[in-house]
Amino acid sequence: MTNRPSFYITTPIYYVNDVPHIGHAYTTLACDVMARFKRLDGYDVMFLTGTDEHGQKVEKSAEKAGIPPQEFCDKVSERFRELATAMNFSNDQFIRTTEERHKNAVQHLWKVLLEKGHIYEDKYAGWYSVRDEAFYAESELQDGKPGEKLAPTGAPVEWVEEPSYFFRLSAFGDKLLSYYEANPDFVMPKSRLNEVTSFVKGGLDDLSISRTTFNWGVPVPDVPGHIMYVWIDALANYLTAVDYPNMDSQTYQNFWPANVHMVGKDILRFHAVYWPAFLMAAGLPLPKRVFAHGWWTNEGQKISKSLGNVIDPFELIDTYGLDAVRYFMLREVPFGNDGDFSRRSFVLRCNSDLANGLGNLSQRTLSMIAKNCDGFIPECSTLTNDDKELLGNVENLLDTVRDHINAQAFHHAFESIFAQAAAADTYITVQEPWKLKKTDPERMKTVLYVLAEAIRQLAILVQPIMPESAAKILDQLNVSERGFDQLGGAGRLKAGVELPTPIGVFPRLELPEDDAA
């Protein structure tokens, strides 16, 4: 038991048809930053990610690889775990839909929906896209090559006719619309809520939720030959991870309903229409928010395996270092918008904010302390208005940053932190501590103390996005208490504490070769 408030955040569970790329790293990174922020802010956090392993798409990929589906899933799922390690993700759980606990949870959910009268048996005759694992109405399709129909996403579709169980989604249109109206922050950003609302207003068809033409899925309870549609299986993972159907469990009690389901805009309909309808039907509380972020392109082009321009997060980390990758992805593009990945922007952004910004600020300050104060935190005497202004602004940051993080406005959160790093840089230029060394050593010490104190707080605040680099800065300041409760006066540096020899934290990055001129 804990008295701390709880916070539950989830990533989509990723299909194992393909190895992880930058898009997967992006969504999980956003969740990692929120999870780390909330932990530092005193919350009891559950951060969930994992892999979606059933369905036709995965079955076909396994066939293509020439190995049994379970073996194929084991292999690719492991790669997603490796990504989590390489990206320094702090997920509390990694769920796989082929786990026994998940099968139990989703079969239980099915039985509840059936008992409550929301499931009936019929036949499905319509369009299906294996790539999207989605059913489409005829009216949604577009023309491809002559004689070819395509999903709105551009994915191929095929005509499917099979016996199927259906979920009475059509009964939930008005309930969903009232829910959106009563909870305007349920879907964010706002423009996405408008999209979802107009889709629901257009009328909802019942949803086919079982398949009979292949085997790779969770069996429908007591009905041989039917496996569950991969999306009912997949969405239920958010419940499995908090011990459903054991709703007496402490984990369920603490963490359900989830605070944020983070998703890409491609899978918003599943999370903002189908999922809340399933939960309403099962009599379970609804998640508080679904945030749909935008899409990355690579140097202006759609990222796709066939174009051969998939960005490999492992390669980026090797080339630029982990924290630069983490910082760039969430700082460069307003979260929610689409963004273009360009190596030139990457290098320019990281050099200006990290190497020349926060890195230079701490390196300069710590070197001056090493040289002019024998490596001990100096004494702080009377504070001038300039000192008070800098410290005051840094101390006020938490409220601003918290508001931005709570709205998933990561770019604004980091913008406000780095604005104070820039203000500290200006403060050095104005105060000229190198001159004070001769003219007023006591004042020099105060200036260096104020700078060290500002850097301590900025480093505490950047921990969620750059955990390793922040730790290096805090190590150099000999600071061991690093929670947000240490911001402001509570965790003030103590004069006389010895500091280790300063080291650089953010290396300068090189522009790509074809761009160096």
- List contacts with ligand ME8 (CB under 6 A): 12-15, 23-24, 26-27, 52, 234-235, 237, 263-264, 266-267, 295-296, 303
Judged by beta carbon, residue 163 or residue 264, the one nearer ligand ME8 is 264
CB 408 within 8 A of CB 30: yes
Rounded Cα distance between 255 and 45, Å, is 8
Nearest of 414, 442, 449 to residue 428 by alpha carbon? 449
- 193: region left, alpha or beta (phi > 0 left; psi from -120 to 50 alpha): alpha
Task: Pick between residue 264 and residue 483 the one whose CB is nearest to ligand ME8.
Answer: 264
CA distance 500 to 375: 7
Please, what is the minimum distance in Å from the beta carbon of residue 249 to ligand ME8?
21
- Angle at 241 (CA atoms; ends 235, 244), nearest 5 degrees: 85
CB of 19 to ligand ME8, least distance (A): 10
In the DSSP assignment, the letter for residue 376 is: B
Task: Return the number of the residue (37 or 296) whose C-beta is nearest ligand ME8.
Answer: 296
Burial class (CB in 10 A: 0-12, 13-18, 19+), 52: buried
Chain residue whose CB lies nearest ligand ME8: 23
CB-nearer residue toward ligand ME8: 96 or 456:
96
Q: How far is the CB of 138 from ligand ME8 (least distance, A)?
A: 23
Residue 32 C-beta: closest distance to ligand ME8, Å: 13
Q: How far is the CB of 200 from ligand ME8 (least distance, A)?
A: 19
Q: What's the CA gap between 461 and 457, in Å, rounded?
A: 6
For ligand ME8, the closer of residues 131 and 175 by Cβ is: 131
Nearer to ligand ME8, 27 or 363 (CB): 27
Task: Calculate Rg over the CA atoms of the chain.
Answer: 26
User: Which residues, 6 or more positions from 308, have their beta carbon under 8 angstroms from its beta carbon?
Assistant: none
Q: Which pair of tokens denotes residue 201?
A: 């207003």
In sequence order, the β-bridge partners of residue 48 are: 10, 93
Residue 323 has which token pair? 């924290």
Report in angstroms how near the CB of residue 29 gets to ligand ME8 at its nearest.
10
Q: Which two tokens mark 139?
A: 């009216």
Give the shortest CB-134-to-ligand ME8 separation in angstroms: 10
Closest to ligand ME8 by CB, 91 vs 360, is: 91
